[in-house]
Chain A
Amino acid sequence: MKILLYAKRNLHIPHLEPIRKWFSSNLPEIDCRYSSPPFSQAVDGVTGVGLESWQISSLQNSGGKWLDFTQIHQWKPDVTVMADADFGGIDWGGRVVNVNHGLISKGTFYTKNPVVLRERGANLICVPGPYHAEILRQSIQKPIVITGVLKFDPIFQGVMTREKLRQEYGIPENERVVLFAPTYNLELSAVPVVVDRIRDIVDEKTWLLVKLHGMAPATWIEMYRLLSKLEEKIIFIEDSDLAPPLVASDVVISDVSSAFMEAVILDRPVILVNNPLQRSFAMYDPSDIEYSWREVGVEVDSSQQMLLAVEHALEHPEYKRELRNFYGEKLAGSRDGNAAQRACEAILQLVQFRSAVSVV
């Protein structure tokens, strides 16, 4: 059997890698390879695609096999596994599985918006939690399997631990860590609201990790990179994977990014920055969960309020824990570290029986 892990963007890797690792560990006879479209840089306002050569090397160094894009047709995969519903250009045959890459979507994935119909391009859809399955079921008649969050498997299996990651970052265990993980849309992001004032969080016992979205504008990247050079306790996370800084942190600051939902799943207090332009976002829908579930965190409108909220959250992490548990279960279902197994079993079922069974 041949399985193609097709990473259209680097942020898909953390969701595909658990699948590769599971097959590699449990069914090594399956030929599992990575590929991606030819790389093009993100330009402000236009999404980039593909992987840079260093990202491909990194995958290979981790044990992944690489297949050049031009050879896919010849290789003829039985299944193409993607972490997105963008199936344009997938014309080499075989089944298609979408394992998704986020918990929320800013009006483009788990929504009642007609754009969700593009999910129909997949033969099987893997979703993190019961919430997502319920939403998609209203519009899509394809098999849907609840797997849990794939990229969190190492966390729930105890492989990726807070202590280990803090050590990697060089952060003493007894010091406090705040993660700033905003989205990239100008109308939604926390960045234009807090800008460089995020640095005020840092003090003698508090560190700041800054993890920008892969599509953040170059000006933002520059600003926070420079801040990390100016402040010893600010670390700018270059890697695309949000999971490690999330695990290392005590409190998370975000906006409408799926980062805040990931933080909720991991029971991290969240501070949610509201951008005043939020409602002008083209896909804004107040019923989407990134707006309707904001009670799970503390909402702030300015950098000053953010500072107060962060301080309080660091002192009282138990505040809103119940709500985090409540929503975490809806988002991630079973948090047993076996999300990849469930996804892989569904993929195998798809190939063996030419259809998968919905578990909704």
Chain B
Amino acid sequence: MPKVLFYFHNAVHLPVLLPIFHELHADGGFEIAYTFPAYNRELQAGFQEDEESELRKLPVKQVKRPQDWNADITFAGDVIGSLLHGCGIVVNVGHGLLSKGIYYSNNRHINRENLCDLLCVPGPYQKERMLRSGKLFVPIHVTGYPKLDAIFSNRYPPQSEVKKLLRQDPAQKILLYAPTFNPELSSIPILWTRIRHLAKPGRTLIIKLHSATMPEYKRAFQMLAQQQDNILYVDKPDITPYLQASDVMLSDVSSAYMEFAALDKPVVLFYNPNLFEYAHYDRNDPEFAWRDIGIQTQTLEEVDSAIERSLVHPSEFSEQRSKYTEQLLSKRDGNSSSRVIEAAIDHFASRRRIVPVQKPEVTILLDVRGARIDRIKNRTSQLIDETGIKYELWFLANPEQRQQIESIISSLDIVSGSITLAELRKLPQNKFLAVLNIGTEGADRWLFRLLNHVRANDQVGAAFPLAFSASPVQDPITRLGVDQRVSWSQLDKSVRLAQAGNHLRLLSMPRTDCLISGKEFLPEVIEVLQHRESKFSSAFLKQSVLALDVVVKLPGVEISQLQHKDHLDDDELQNAEMRVRELADWIGVITGGGNGNGSSSSHRPNGVYSEEDRDQANGKQSIESHLRLAQHYLKRNNFELARKHINRAQKTDPDNRAVLDLENTLNKLRKQEQQSS
């Protein structure tokens, strides 16, 4: 039975994921579990105690870490693919119709979406915006919005019944106040608790704040509800019942108002004059561009009038509501959850991978030199699933392997040919070249994710994965999702660094047996592969990235027993030389060591040092060390040596204040000594 995991990052995701969960659970054909992180307010992760109660009701197993379930499919409501390595196919269903410039927008964060396997979006608008960025390479399905399935499928009680459930008179008009939380955008800082004036006789005011609203605001509105009978404060994560129950909504830029509009109910929108301060403000985003979906207001008085108007003429903006919500939320038949599940299963069953292009963009050069034939065959087959991209595969082989390799090439149609080191310049040029060692292993479409760094960013010419063998070079904290000892907070810190839109510069000379390069650096990569003493240029290094979100295991080196023999015969001596070379290549590759090429060129290539060389090599420290020594000798009343070092310091920097002070001290002490003697 396929294993499915639901990852609830925080309470906001519950209303979107739970409908999918219930549908899948009802199916009975899946093993389901759920997980959620520990509460961390700063990271907007996890649940507070009262919020967890919803999750505790789920009739399935909870696992502590996502990776514990070994899921085939994982559903999530956000771009947190990096936390879900090793969790099968990750399906991101999002958690809102709008995004305030963060999700369905062409910005530097959009590349994070590639960390999932499949994106499900509510409407054609979101899909089109994401595709238009040119930075998304995962399939995007328009499924509709699972959160509203119950309402659209009429499984939800009608409005009058819901009002009764909320202990409201069905004749009472209900105003739902659902503001966002960002101070620049929200109506809260301006309307504040004056909102109570909207709770007039005949009206009930329901206040439903975003879970990320500041606690101080929440407390203030809670108190308001305690003071007035016709004000209700809702602290449950799901707004759906209140959408159904309410007659009019007051909001600002919250996704909630689009959900309300999708039910063809009137919205009143408050305008915060600070919205231009918002970091992700884009006037073309629907929250700002489609304000004619309801009545725009700027003062409490205007809000009051707008509400009255909406209650009297609820269908006034119906046409606009229909026009906009059609784009954001196309399928309103109550079957969005089913469509999400279908897309996920389809993806899982067919194991289709990504890159919606016909021609392979990537040439993979797989280094099989010295490898056994059965190993080459197995590895080639594994690459298909492991890498997650379409490619043209070439073997880098030794001339003597040619004949054997021909047999593999003819039996596997994915292999285009074999080539030797000397012939590398004849390699067909696609848009990208991936050089891999046959022993390199990765997971979770690692080559696809490595390729994303180069594809999605014009400034990046080459990408290298975080690589380790039995002895990792990099700190374990940065090995995302691989190290079992990594805690959630450490993982999140790493996620922030390694999100596909962010990358770190290379720290040193990169490996040449696992990389992806753009076409423009192809000649340089070939040069370095062909000539061991060659190094990558500084231009190449400047445009290279070390992809912290891509971890691979490099082939290890077996230890030989030759080292334990007391005496080596001639053959063994020869083997020992080769073995030393092999080990030196293996050990030195992380730094480019052994070839005599260092970053400093301050020393002559032959001959001994001159005074100048010495001073230059230790230049910046020479004045400090002279000063230190001068002080040291002054303390011991060794004036002659102190003078020597003061003179040397003066020679380097005659106007140095510290030197002049020391000289004064020396003169003073000398005088004192002379006087006393």
A residues with a Cβ closer than 8 A to B are 43-45, 186-187, 191-197, 217-223, 225-227, 229-230, 275-277, 279-280, 282, 294-295, 298-305, 308-309, 311-312, 315, 319, 322-323, 326
Q: Would you call A227 and B470 a contact (CB within 8 A)?
A: no
Which residues on B sit within 8 Å (CB–CB) of A223?
580, 583-584, 587
Q: Would you call B608 and A315 a contact (CB within 8 A)?
A: yes
Residues 609-631 of B, flagged 1 when their CB comes within 8 A of A and 0 if not, give 10000100110011011001100
Q: Would you call B475 and A230 a contact (CB within 8 A)?
A: no
Question: Least Cβ distance of A129 to chain B in Å?
Answer: 15
B603 in contact (CB, < 8 A):
yes
Name which of B563, B565, B568, B618 has the most chain A CB atoms within 10 A of its CB: B563
Within 8 A of A (CB), among B308-367: none
Which residues on A sit within 8 Å (CB–CB) of B573?
229-230
Q: Would you call A45 and B472 a contact (CB within 8 A)?
A: yes
Q: Would you call B507 and A192 a contact (CB within 8 A)?
A: no
Q: Pick 18 A–B contacts, CB within 8 A, sort by A.
A: A43-B470, A45-B470, A193-B593, A219-B559, A227-B580, A229-B565, A230-B577, A276-B591, A276-B592, A280-B507, A300-B603, A301-B598, A301-B600, A304-B596, A304-B598, A304-B605, A305-B600, A308-B603
Q: Would you call B591 and A192 a contact (CB within 8 A)?
A: yes
Question: In the bound complex, what is the Cα–Cα distance between A68 and B600 (angstroms)?
Answer: 53
Question: In the bound complex, what is the Cα–Cα distance between A194 and B598 (angstroms)?
Answer: 10
Q: Would you call B563 and A221 a contact (CB within 8 A)?
A: yes
Contact for B563 among A192, A226, A279, CB less than 8 A: A226
Chain B: which residue is nearest A295 at the CB level? B621
Question: In the bound complex, what is the Cα–Cα distance between A218 and B583 (angstroms)?
Answer: 11
B154 in contact (CB, < 8 A):
no
Question: Least Cβ distance of B507 to chain A in Å?
Answer: 5
Given known A226-B579, A230-B576, contact A196–B584 (CB-CB < 8 A): yes
Which residues on B sit within 8 Å (CB–CB) of A305?
598, 600, 603
Question: In the bound complex, what is the Cα–Cα distance between A219 and B554 (angstroms)?
Answer: 15
B274 in contact (CB, < 8 A):
no
B654 in contact (CB, < 8 A):
no
Q: Would you call A219 and B587 a contact (CB within 8 A)?
A: yes
CB within 8 Å: A-B pair count:
147
B560 in contact (CB, < 8 A):
yes
Which residues on A sit within 8 Å (CB–CB) of B608?
308, 311-312, 315
Q: Would you call B563 and A319 a contact (CB within 8 A)?
A: no
Given known A197-B596, A229-B568, A302-B598, contact A326–B628 (CB-CB < 8 A): yes
B657 in contact (CB, < 8 A):
no
Name which of A196, A217, A311 has the most chain B CB atoms within 10 A of its CB: A196
Which residues on B sit within 8 Å (CB–CB) of A229?
563, 565, 568, 573, 576
Name which of B560, B586, B625 has the most chain A CB atoms within 10 A of its CB: B625
Chain B: which residue is nearest A296 at the CB level? B625
Question: In the bound complex, what is the Cα–Cα distance between A221 and B594 (angstroms)?
Answer: 17
Question: Least Cβ distance of A45 to chain B in Å?
Answer: 5
Q: Would you call A196 and B568 a contact (CB within 8 A)?
A: no
B539 in contact (CB, < 8 A):
no
Given A195-B587, A222-B563, A225-B563, 13 more pairs with CB closer than 8 A: A45-B472, A186-B590, A192-B590, A193-B591, A219-B559, A226-B579, A230-B576, A230-B580, A277-B473, A298-B618, A299-B618, A309-B609, A326-B628
In order of increasing CB-CB distance, the 7 nearest A-B pairs are A302-B598, A301-B598, A304-B596, A195-B594, A225-B563, A195-B584, A196-B584
